Structure 1
Amino acid sequence: MRRTASPYPAPVSPAAANAHLGATLHKLLPYLWQYKWRVLLALSCLFSAKLANVTVPLVFKEMIDGLSSTQQALTLPALLLLLYGALRFSTSLFTELREILFARVTQRAVRRIALEVFRHLHELSLRFHLERQTGGVSRDIERGSRSISSLISYTLYSILPTLVEITLVLVILLLRYDSAFVLITLASLATYVVFTIKVSNWRIAIRRKLNEMDSAANTRAIDSLLNYETVKYFNNEEYEARRYDRQMQEWEDAATRSQVSLSWLNLGQQVIIALGVTAMMWRAASGVVDGSMTIGDLVLVNAFLIQLYMPLNFLGVVYREIRQALADIERMFDLLAVNREIADAPDAACLAAGAVQIRFSEVDFSYEPNRQILQRIDFAIPAGRTVAVVGESGSGKSTLARLLYRFYDVSAGHILVNGVDLRDLTQTSLRSAIGIVPQDTVLFNDTIYYNIHYGQPEASREQVIAAAAAAQLSSFIDLLPDGYETRVGERGLKLSGGEKQRVAIARALLKNPPVLIFDEATSALDSKTEKAIQASLDNAARGRTTLIIAHRLSTIMNADEILVMDAGRIVERGSHMKLLDASGLYAQMWALQQLEESSDAPALLVSQC
Structure 2
Amino acid sequence: MKLRIFGKSSESDGKPFFTAQDRENIAWFWNAYLKKRTVWLLLVLGLILVQGLVYQQFLRLTESGLRVIFDQGAVRDLYKVCGLVFALFFVRGITSYVVPRTSTWLASGAVMELRRDLIEKLLVLDLSYFERSSPADIILRVVTQAQQLSRFVGQVTINAVRDAVMVIIVSGYLIYKAPLLFLTALIIAPVILFTLQFVSRRIKHVQRTAEAALGAYMNTLEETVNGMRTVKISNQEEFEEARLQATNEKIRSLQVRVQAAQAIVLPAIDFASAFAYAMVIGFGGYMAISPHHDIDGAAIITFMLGLVMVFDPLRALAKFFTQLQQQLVQLDSVHSIMRQEPSIVDVPDATDDFDAAADIRLEKVTFGYSADQPLFKDLDLTFDGGKRTAIVGATGSGKTTVLSLLGRLYDIQGGAVMIGDHNVRDIRIATLRKSFSVVAQDIVIFNASIWENIKYVRPQSTDEEIWAAAEAAEIAGLIRDRGNTPLGPKGAQLSGGQKQRIAIARAFLRSAPILLLDEATSALDQRTEERIKGALNRLSEGKTTIIVAHRLSSVIDADKIYVLDQGRVVETGTHAELLALGGLYAGMYTTQKEGYR
Task: State the TM-score, normalized to the length of structure 1.
Answer: 0.87
Task: Name the structure 2 match of 1:321.
Answer: 323
- Which stretch shifts more, 511-520 or 77-86? 77-86
SS of 1:51's partner is helix
CA distance in 1, matches of 2:79, 2:152: 43
CA distance in 2, matches of 1:403, 1:550: 17
Give CA deviations for 1:224-265 in whole Å, capped at 9, x if unaligned: 222222223432222222222332333333233333333333
8 Å contact from structure 1 (residues 470, 506) kept in 2: yes
Map 1:199-598 onto structure 2 (within 5 A).
Answer: 199-290=199-290, 292-350=294-352, 355=357, 357-479=359-481, 483-597=482-596
8 Å contact from structure 1 (residues 143, 328) kept in 2: no
Aligned-residue offset at 1:405 = 2.0
Task: Name the structure 2 match of 1:106.
Answer: 107
SS of 1:436's partner is strand
Q: 1:413 to 1:341 in 2, by over 3 A?
A: same
CA distance in 2, matches of 1:12, 1:562: 63
- Which stretch shifts more, 550-559 or 329-338? 550-559
- Which stretch shifts more, 195-204 or 313-322? 195-204
Q: 1:282 to 1:425 in 2, by over 3 A?
A: farther
Task: Name the structure 2 match of 1:53.
Answer: 55
Map 1:115-264 onto structure 2 (within 5 A).
Answer: 115-153=116-154, 156-177=157-178, 179-264=179-264
Aligned-residue offset at 1:352 = 5.5
Q: 1:52 to 1:366 in 2, by over 3 A?
A: same
- Which stretch shifts more, 304-313 or 59-68? 59-68
Task: Flag structure 2 segments of 5+ consecutive residues without an equivalent.
Answer: 1-9
Aligned-residue offset at 1:279 = 2.1
SS of 2:418's partner is strand
CA distance in 2, matches of 1:351, 1:86: 73
Q: 1:275 to 1:350 in 2, by over 3 A?
A: farther
CA distance in 2, matches of 1:509, 1:277: 81
8 Å contact from structure 1 (residues 143, 329) kept in 2: no
SS of 1:362's partner is strand
- Which stretch shifts more, 168-177 or 578-587? 578-587
SS of 1:485's partner is coil
CA distance in 2, matches of 1:417, 1:53: 75
Q: 1:393 to 1:210 in 2, by over 3 A?
A: closer
SS of 1:394's partner is coil
Aligned-residue offset at 1:351 = 5.4
Q: Which amino acid aligns with 1:222?
A: E
Aligned-residue offset at 1:45 = 2.0
Map 1:60-71 onto structure 2 (within 5 A).
Answer: 60-70=62-72
Give CA deviations for 1:491-528 in whole Å, capped at 9, x if unaligned: 33332222222222222222222221111212233333
8 Å contact from structure 1 (residues 151, 326) kept in 2: no
Q: 1:12 to 1:297 in 2, by over 3 A?
A: closer
8 Å contact from structure 1 (residues 355, 384) kept in 2: yes
1:36 aligns to 2:44 (yes or no)? no
Aligned-residue offset at 1:74 = 4.6
CA distance in 2, matches of 1:366, 1:67: 88
Aligned-residue offset at 1:468 = 2.3
Give CA deviations for 1:418-442 in whole Å, capped at 9, x if unaligned: 4222223332222222121112223
Q: 1:321 to 1:143 in 2, by over 3 A?
A: farther
8 Å contact from structure 2 (residues 549, 555) kept in 1: yes
Q: Which amino acid aligns with 1:362?
A: K
Q: Which amino acid aligns with 1:565?
A: L
Q: Which amino acid aligns with 2:470?
A: A
SS of 2:417's partner is strand
Aligned-residue offset at 1:477 = 4.2
Aligned-residue offset at 1:215 = 2.4
Task: State the TM-score, normalized to the length of structure 2.
Answer: 0.89
SS of 2:545's partner is strand
- Which stretch shifts more, 107-116 or 253-262? 253-262
Give CA deviations for 1:195-237 in whole Å, capped at 9, x if unaligned: 2343233332222233232222232222222222222343222
CA distance in 1, matches of 2:171, 2:574: 91
Aligned-residue offset at 1:155 = 5.8
SS of 2:410's partner is coil
CA distance in 2, matches of 1:278, 1:514: 86
CA distance in 1, matches of 2:517, 2:11: 47
Aligned-residue offset at 1:112 = 1.8
CA distance in 1, matches of 2:488, 2:155: 41
8 Å contact from structure 2 (residues 166, 310) kept in 1: yes
8 Å contact from structure 1 (residues 351, 430) kept in 2: no
Give CA deviations for 1:61-105 in whole Å, capped at 9, x if unaligned: 1122134334x3454333333322222122232343333443332
CA distance in 2, matches of 1:527, 1:476: 21
CA distance in 2, matches of 1:299, 1:242: 60
Q: Which amino acid aligns with 2:234?
A: F
SS of 2:19's partner is helix
Q: 1:592 to 1:32 in 2, by over 3 A?
A: same
CA distance in 2, matches of 1:154, 1:272: 28
Q: Which amino acid aligns with 1:344?
A: D
SS of 2:524's partner is coil
CA distance in 2, matches of 1:333, 1:552: 45
CA distance in 2, matches of 1:186, 1:432: 69
CA distance in 2, matches of 1:327, 1:249: 21
Give CA deviations for 1:288-335 in whole Å, capped at 9, x if unaligned: 333632343133212211211111122222222221122122222223
SS of 1:56's partner is helix
Provide the aligned length of Structure 1 versus Structure 2: 583
Q: 1:555 to 1:202 in 2, by over 3 A?
A: closer
Q: Which amino acid aligns with 1:125?
A: D
Aligned-residue offset at 1:341 = 3.7
Q: 1:418 to 1:41 in 2, by over 3 A?
A: farther
8 Å contact from structure 1 (residues 564, 573) kept in 2: yes
Q: Which amino acid aligns with 1:211?
A: E
8 Å contact from structure 1 (residues 357, 417) kept in 2: yes
SS of 1:35's partner is helix
Q: Which amino acid aligns with 1:19?
A: A
Task: Name the structure 1 match of 2:89.
Answer: 88
Task: Flag structure 1 segments of 5+ consecutive residues without an equivalent.
Answer: 1-10, 600-609
CA distance in 2, matches of 1:133, 1:548: 30
8 Å contact from structure 2 (residues 437, 510) kept in 1: yes
Q: 1:550 to 1:203 in 2, by over 3 A?
A: closer
CA distance in 2, matches of 1:200, 1:589: 64
Q: Which amino acid aligns with 1:330?
A: D
- Which stretch shifts more, 101-110 or 91-100? 91-100
Q: 1:294 to 1:437 in 2, by over 3 A?
A: same
Q: Which amino acid aligns with 2:496?
A: G
Aligned-residue offset at 1:595 = 4.4
8 Å contact from structure 1 (residues 154, 318) kept in 2: no
SS of 2:251's partner is helix
CA distance in 2, matches of 1:133, 1:108: 27
SS of 2:264's partner is helix
Q: Which amino acid aligns with 1:89?
A: F
8 Å contact from structure 1 (residues 404, 415) kept in 2: yes
Q: 1:186 to 1:462 in 2, by over 3 A?
A: farther
